[in-house]
Chains A and B, each alone.
Chain A
Amino acid sequence: MQIKKRKLNLLLSKGLIWGCIVFLVMFFTIPYIWMSASAFKPRTEIFANIHPLSWRTFIPLHPTLENFYTLLVKMKFWLPLVNSLGIAFSTVTITLFISSLIAFAISRMEFRGRGLIFALVLSTLMIPFEAIMVPMFLVTQKLGLDNTYFGLFLPWVADAFIIFLFRQHFLEIPTDLQDAAIMDGCSPFQVYWKIMLPCIKPALISAAFIKFMYSWDSYIWPLIITRDPNKMVVAVAIAKLFTDQDILWELIFAGAFIATIPIVIIFIFLQRYYIEGIVSTGLHGQ
């Protein structure tokens, strides 16, 4: 009797946990399934199958690439796609280079004013973009960078979070390695480039991924800094489809699909680095 009751309890709690898991998986994935399925549906099929809810809502019956063709070719969505990729690539390479340089100097070299410079870098961690977006816009405009590609990525390349992340990783490298290299006659830049940088590869990967995503996601800044339709980025292009007078649902789904699915796939492979980078810097959302 006792054993039977315990078995029942165990079965019940197992069932409960599995119920929870199924609910959670649905809760987090259904918007993506709906989006992906609808991206491959003709417009009429999207609206025909929303009411009543059935499996047809989530599966394209007559899959088509027409939405993608209309969006990419006719609506020239390929242009913001290329722009965003170029901007993200520039942001990532410049950020990684200049942040690792300063992080190396702060963590591995001794000079007067080192503490002060690190404090200065850290102090900018606390300035939220939203609170300085107006003056940042004014400054960028004064420099004549509004409506240019440079204006879209240069303000983002000196990133205190990334500097902080790299500094932590540099500090973990034993000093013997550096000393040996200096003995062999390496200059500080050679020590940095040949010895130190390869040692912090995981940090470089997480920084690259985090920075890429920030750049890919950025919406407010491109919106205010450029009015030139030729320099439009993906986020602004998708938002424009949504805020236009008559909403073209099928094109929104296609655009959202293109902007999301590649990132999700990269994330699945790189999530270890991503989580490590987020947790070790305390970086939190945008």
Chain B
Amino acid sequence: MNSEIRRSLRQYSYVIPLILPALIGIAIFQLWPIFESIRVSFYDYKMISGSMKWVGWQNYLKTLQDPLFWQTVRNTLWFFILKVPVQMVFAFGLALLVQTTARGIGILRTIILIPAITSMVVVSVIWGLMYHPNNGLINSFLEYLSLPPQKFLISPKQSMPSIALMMIWKDVGFNMIFFLAGLMGIPSSIYEAAKIDGAGGWEILRYITVPLVRRTTVFVLITNMITAFKVFTPIFLMTRGGPANSTRVIVLYLYENAFIYNKMGYAAAISILLGLFLLTISFISTRDKPY
């Protein structure tokens, strides 16, 4: 007994130094903030003066009654609807194209992935200039095609679709690599069997490829959902939520409440609601791993 305790102690003296650094980091910068967030969400906390007043559930009630909060929820959903379906179909098509072993196709795959590894700030800034109504590249391109110039980011109707287009351009490569991995997982014998049975290209796609990458599709959809609900940087840089609140999304509203309006408690309550929502989506995704 005694020696067993000593042995397990010896064992821990080896294990603890190995696991401690990472655990401390996780405890301080991941877990503590969660508790801090829950705590602050029950207070009226002004960071500048440092005053803290217990308000109970008030911050949550205020959030749920705040029309601007619901506007940001609708805007975020709109961004999701504009971006995700198009991006996924596009990514699937690209994966099918890039999957072939034709010469030079590797270069195309690399090119499609370059926006995905480019900094979000650089992408926002360059596309921000491309969308410029007078000197932007896109209007000059439309002029070349004899089409009327557009207002893009300064029009409440076009602002969100413009940002969604840019984000599709940036993120489609990410989705493509997951679809590619899914396609690689389909054994070639299935395709051969289908060809022998006389199936055409369209039928193979409809009855074999699409159903067999279903799990990948679900996984990609869920991760896209999460990333769409977290969108912040491009909107913060390109429109600041304007024009006329047309691009004010949840995380931007959260940021403004915390760091501009000095309403930390309110921002914490929004954080908790957003966190709970994303957590629910994540739970679904862990049940459905890509493969």
Binding site for B on A (CB under 8 A): 17, 20-21, 24-25, 27-32, 34-35, 47, 50-53, 57, 97-99, 101-102, 104-106, 109, 111-112, 117, 120-121, 124-140, 143, 154-158, 160, 163, 187-189, 192, 213, 216-217, 219-220, 224, 234-236, 238-239, 241-243, 247, 249, 252-253, 256, 259-260, 263-264, 267-268, 271, 274-275, 278-279, 282, 284-286
Contacts and interface: CB of A to CB of B under 8 A. Distances in A.
Nearest to B236: A220
Contacts of B12: 111
A31 B130 contact: yes
A24 B112 contact: yes
B19 A106 contact: yes
Q: How large is the interface on B (under 10, 10 to 19, 20 to 34, 35 or more residues)?
A: 35 or more
Main secondary structure on B side of the interface with A: helix
20 contacts: A24-B94, A25-B108, A28-B111, A50-B140, A51-B140, A53-B143, A121-B22, A128-B230, A139-B36, A158-B25, A219-B121, A235-B120, A235-B122, A252-B125, A279-B290, A282-B223, A285-B171, A285-B223, A285-B227, A286-B227
B26 A124 contact: yes
A224 B267 CA distance: 14
B82 interface: no
Contacts of B141: 53
Contacts of A249: 129, 135
B71 interface: no
Nearest to A192: B18
Interface of B: 8, 11-12, 14-15, 17-19, 21-26, 28-34, 36-37, 40, 47, 94, 97, 108, 110-130, 135-137, 140-141, 143-144, 169, 171, 174, 177-178, 181, 219, 223-224, 226-227, 230, 232-233, 236-237, 251, 254-255, 258-259, 264, 267-268, 271-272, 274-275, 278-279, 282-283, 286, 289-290
Nearest to A108: B18
Contacts of B126: 31, 34-35, 252-253, 256
A158 B114 contact: no
